[in-house]
Amino acid sequence: MTSEKAPGSSVRSVFMDELVAQGYSQVELDHLTGLWPEAERVTNDLVGQIPPVGWFSLHKPFMAFVTVCRALDRLQAERGLSDEQVQLALAILRLRSAPYCKAERVFLARVHRLNKDDYAGLPTSVREFLLAVGRLASLG
C-alpha cells in the first residue's frame, strides 16, 4: 500500500463509518463508494493548491475557500465530474486538510456579509455547498 492510499483509505473508512452511524442505507453507501475514487483523485490534486490561510486574517481563509472551489469547478469541467463528486471532494478535503477546514469555517461565518452581486460571482461549487449546508436561504 502506498503512502498516498493509506491516508485516503483511512479517510474513507472514517467517512463511511460516520454515514453508517447516521443510518445511511446500503444503497446510499454503495452509491457513495462508486463516487469516491474520482472525488479522491480530485482531492489529491486540490490539497496542494490550498492557499495559505494565515493566523489572524479573516480575508485569507475566506478567499482560500473560494479559490479551492474555483479550482474544483475547473476540474469538474475538465474531468466531467458530477455535482455529487464535487461535494464529496469537499467533504474529503474537510477530513484531510486543517487549512481547508479553517477556510471553510471562516467562509461560513462570513458568507452572510455578501451582497447579491458578490454571491452571483461565487463558483458553482460554493453555491451548491451553501445549498447542502442550508445557508443559501439566508443570503441575499
pTM: 0.85
Q: Is the pLDDT of residue 120 over 70?
A: yes
Predicted local distance difference test score (pLDDT) of residue 135: 60
Residue 114 CA to residue 136 CA, distance in Å, equals: 11
Residue found by looking up cell 494565515 in the block: 54
Nearest by Cα to 125 from 98, 104, 95, 99: 104
Average pLDDT over residues 53-64: 92
Average pLDDT, the chain: 89
Q: How many domains are contained in the chain?
A: 1
For residue 49, the enclosing domain spans 5-138
Q: Give residue 101's pLDDT.
A: 95
Contacts of residue 45, Cβ cutoff 8 Å, sequence gap at least 6:
75
Q: Which residues touch 65 (CB under 8 Å, ≥6 apart)?
A: 100, 103, 104, 106, 107, 126
Percent of the chain with pLDDT over 70: 89
pLDDT of residue 3: 31
Q: Which of 8-22, 35-49, 59-73, 117-131 shows the lowest mean pLDDT across its residues?
A: 8-22
